[in-house]
Structure 1
C-alpha cells in the first residue's frame, strides 16, 4: 500500500507518542500525517516512519528529477520563445520593408505617370511647333510671291512713270518751243 502524499499540519504532525503505535514491519513509532491528494485530502493517518522517510526520499529524488526535467524544458521553451520573438521581429521588419517598398513602388509609379504625361505633352508641343513652322514657311513663301509681284508692279509703274516723264519732258520742250515761237 502506497502512502499518500501528505502535508504538514501543526495540530497533527510528528511521531505518535501518545498511543505508542509501532510499525509492524520495522517496530518503530508511527508518524502522524495529513493527506493532501485526491479524495483523501485532509484525512489524518499514521504510517511507518521509515517507510515515510524512504518514500519522502524517493519522492524528493523523483521531484528533483522532475524539477531538473522541468528546468530543461523551461530552457528549451525559453530558447524557442526567444527564437519565436526573433522570427516575429524579423517578420515585422520584413513587413515594414515590404510596406516601404510598396510605398516606393507607388511613388515610382506616380513619377512614371508624370514622366509619361510630360513626355506626351512635349511630343504634342513638338508637333504643334512643327506644324506652325510649316505654316510659317508656307506663309513666308506666299508673302515672297506677293512681294515679288509688288516689286514687279512697282518696276512696271516706274517704267511707265519714266516713259510718262519722258513724254512730259518732250511735251514741255514742244510747249517751250511753241512759246518761243509765239513770243517772237
Structure 2
C-alpha cells in the first residue's frame, strides 16, 4: 500500500508539473500577445496623433473632412477592437494567474503532507531498527545460553556414561563377590561336613 501511495503521489506530482509547464507556456504566450497588443495600440494611437496633426495643417475641404472623419472612425473601431482584445487577454491572464496560484497551493500542500509522511516513516523506520537491534541482542544471548546448555548436556551425558560404566563395573564386582561367597559357602559346608563326619 505504501508503494502504491508513493507511486500515486509521484504520478500526481508529474501530472501537476506538466500542467504547470503548460500553464507557464500559455502565460508566456499571453504575456507576449499582451505586449504585442499594447505595442499595437500605442503605435495606433501615435499614428492617429500624427494624422490628426497632419490634418490640422492641411486645408480641409468638405470631401477631405468626410474622408478624415471616416479614417478617424476606422481608427476608433480598430482601437476599440484592440482594447477588447487587451481586455480578453487580461481576463485570460487573470484566470491563468489564479490557476497557477491554485496549483502552487496544491503542490505546497502535497509537499508538506509528503514531508510529514516522510518524517513519520523515518521515525517508524528508526523504531523498527531499535526493535530489530533488541531482537538481535536477545537472539545472540539465547544462542550463548544454548551453547552453555549444550556444554552442560555434554557434561551430563559424559557423567551418565561414566555412571553406567561404574554400574557395570559394580555389577561385575558384585557377581565376583557372589561367586566368591558361593565358593566360601561350599568350602564352609565342606569344612562342616568334615567336622561332622
Correspondence for 2:176? 163
Distance 2:169 2:78 in 1: 133
In the TM superposition, what whole-angstrom CA distance separates every residue of 1:155-178 from its partner, at most 9, and x where no partner exists?
232222122111211122122223
Structure 1 gaps of 5+ residues are 1-56
User: Deviation digits for residues 91-118 of structure 1, max 9, x if unmatched?
Assistant: 0121122123213312321332233123
Q: CA RMSD in A?
A: 2.9
TM-score by length of 2: 0.52
Q: Please state which structure has a larger fraction of its residues in helix.
A: 2
Shift of 1:66: 7.7
Alpha-carbon distance between aligned partners in 2 of 1:90 and 1:67, rounded to the nearest angstrom: 34
* Structure 1 position 82, deviation (Å): 0.3
Return the TM-score normalized by structure 1: 0.55
Structure number with larger C-alpha Rg: 1
For these two proteins, the number of residue pairs brought into alignment is: 125
- 1:137-164 alpha-carbon deviations (Å, 9 max, x no partner): 2112211222232223222322221221
Q: Which among 108, 111, 122 is matched to residue 95 of structure 1?
A: 108
Q: Which residues of structure 2 form unaligned runs of 5+?
A: 1-68
**Which protein has greater RCO, CA pairs closer than 8 Å, 6+ apart?**
2
More strand by share: 1
Aligned to 1:125: 138
